[in-house]
């Protein structure tokens, strides 16, 4: 038995892989896809259909997405009643918001593309209501990433911001059997519905050892930058107190997270563009120190925190952005799990005492 199922192959997938430290989506490396400069929608199509879309496939896909970008009646009103600005964690609201969406969307409408289309609206609505602002309607002429940005910030992104945001969302979209995706698959394996799987996955992503790490990275960098602390001394103190440094370490990648290498490039260019070099420089100092002292690598949540900050998002909303992207990956995995018709139900090793005869064995307590 291995701790936390490390190294255990728990099922088969054609969607993504991390073989040999390379991340692939349906067989394409993320470096290949990054060089092809594809849209987020094209990558989602790839994950869902296991092939890149033709131009007409993509146009049709984007058209349906845009037609489905509306929320069910009463949704915003119920969410408005639930929200107490500043009191609830945005990921708790997303968890409830996803569940509510499933309750208000009728069964026929529960198709992956219709669900995915509503995610930016749910997230934008949560962000805006938490800030005391009116929720916005999606703009059909915008891409999925640009709509997510617009619905959350109220601004249409400029071309460079949209490009960086798109690539950042692509790099978060799928990652084989990570904790939230596995959660989604376990729920789907019982033949439960899409929304139950997505709600469970959001709960798993929220945790600081998974997607919630990006918010903690923000808090760490903010503490260092705003108090003009020495990054090395700060991190040394964290380690000496036995605390984990957020945004570092990975269950699968031990020599480098391929996503982080691409994100670092974008983090640097965006920090320069927005005159927030201190955020990038601080992050890089922390990275170098962690490598020199512990040989631990930054993961996807590390430089994405600098990117989202430089784009103007609040730190507490960072994990929502991860969820906006990963939802498309979860939907791919839920559909694949349904097609496999297999209940996921492992065994456990019982380590407590017995108080009765088991199969004729002598009671041991
Ligand atoms: N800071 C300090 N030490 C660390 C860190 C870290 N971030 N990560 C791992 N270590 C140490 C850990 O203390 C352990 O040391 P020792 O062997 O002396 O006890 C060793 O490295 C192995 O760590 P582990 O926790 O047993 O490794 P794991 O594969 O079980 O955990 C991890 C992976 C991601 C949970 C862990 O690295 C971690 O907690 N990192 C911080 C949270 C984080 O950034 N999470 C995001 C994960 S990647 C993207 C995502 O899923 O969202």
Q: What is the pLDDT of residues 254-263, one digit of tens each?
A: 889 999 999 9
pTM score, two decimals? 0.96
- Paired residues of 248 in beta bridges: 298
**Mean predicted confidence (pLDDT) in 170-199:** 98
Q: CATH number of the domain that 202 lies in?
A: 1.10.580.10
Whether 94 is covered by a domain: the verdict is yes
Is there a domain that residue 9 lies in? no
The pLDDT score that the predictor gives to residue 120 is: 98
- Residue 361: predicted pLDDT: 58
Catalytic residue (one of 172, 250, 309, 333): 250
SS3 179: helix
Query: Can 89 be counted among the known catalytic residues?
Result: no
The answer to whether residue 2 sits within a structural domain is no
* Residue whose CB lies within 8 A of the most ligand 1 atoms, among 249, 289, 308, for a mutation test: 249
Residue 164 lies in a domain: yes
* Alpha-helical regions (H) of the chain: 30-36, 40-49, 55-67, 75-82, 90-104, 112-130, 144-153, 159-172, 179-188, 194-206, 213-226, 231-240, 258-273, 277-294, 300-310, 318-340
Answer yes or no: do 190 and 99 share one domain. yes
Give the tens place of pLDDT for each residue, 300-324: 999 999 999 999 999 999 999 999 9
pLDDT of residue 360: 64
Is 153 found in the same domain as 113? yes
Whether 255 is catalytic: no
Give the domain range for residue 296: 213-310
So what's the ipTM on this one?
Answer: 0.97
- Using one digit for the tens of pLDDT, what is the confidence trace for 19-35? 999 999 999 999 999 99
191 and 257 fall within a common domain: no
Distances from the Cα of 70 to the Cαs of 153, 295, 302, 326, in angstroms?
A: 18, 47, 33, 20
Shortest-distance Cα residue to atom 8 of ligand 1: 249
pLDDT tops 70 at residue 363: no
């Amino acid at each position: 038995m291995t701790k936390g199922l490390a190294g255990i192959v728990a099922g088969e997938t054609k969607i993504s892989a991390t073989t040999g430290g390379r991340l692939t989506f349906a067989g394409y490396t993320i470096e290949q896809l990054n060089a092809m400069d594809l849209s987020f929608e094209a990558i989602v199509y790839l994950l869902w259909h296991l092939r890149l879309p033709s131009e007409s496939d993509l146009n049709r896909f984007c058209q349906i997405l845009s037609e489905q970008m509306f929320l069910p009646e009463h949704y915003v009103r119920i969410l408005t009643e639930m929200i107490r600005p500043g009191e609830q964690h945005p990921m708790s609201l997303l968890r409830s918001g996803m569940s509510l969406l499933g309750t208000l969307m009728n069964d026929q409408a529960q198709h992956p593309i219709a669900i995915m289309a509503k995610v930016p609206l749910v997230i934008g609505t949560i962000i805006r209501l938490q800030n005391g602002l009116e929720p916005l309607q999606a703009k059909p002429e915008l891409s999925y990433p640009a709509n997510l940005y617009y619905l959350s910030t109220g601004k249409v992104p400029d071309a460079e911001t949209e490009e960086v945001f798109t690539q950042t969302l692509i790099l978060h979209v799928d990652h084989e059997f990570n904790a939230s995706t596995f959660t989604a698959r376990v729920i789907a394996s019982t033949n439960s519905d899409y929304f139950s799987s997505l709600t469970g996955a959001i709960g798993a992503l929220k945790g600081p050892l998974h997607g919630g790490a990006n918010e903690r990275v923000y808090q760490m960098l903010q503490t260092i930058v705003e108090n003009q602390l020495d990054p090395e001394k700060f991190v040394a103190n964290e380690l000496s107190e036995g605390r984990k440094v957020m945004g570092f370490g990975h269950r699968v990648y031990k020599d480098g997270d391929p996503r982080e290498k691409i994100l670092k490039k974008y983090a640097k260019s965006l920090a320069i563009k927005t005159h927030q070099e201190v955020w990038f420089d601080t992050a890089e100092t922390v990275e170098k120190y962690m490598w020199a002292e512990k040989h631990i690598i930054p993961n996807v949540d590390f430089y994405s925190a600098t990117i989202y900050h430089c784009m103007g998002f609040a730190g507490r909303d960072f994990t929502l952005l991860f969820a906006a992207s990963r939802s498309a990956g979860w939907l791919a995995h839920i559909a694949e799990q349904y097609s496999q018709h297999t209940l996921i139900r492992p065994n456990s090793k019982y380590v407590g005492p017995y108080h009765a005869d088991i199969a004729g064995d002598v009671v041991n307590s």
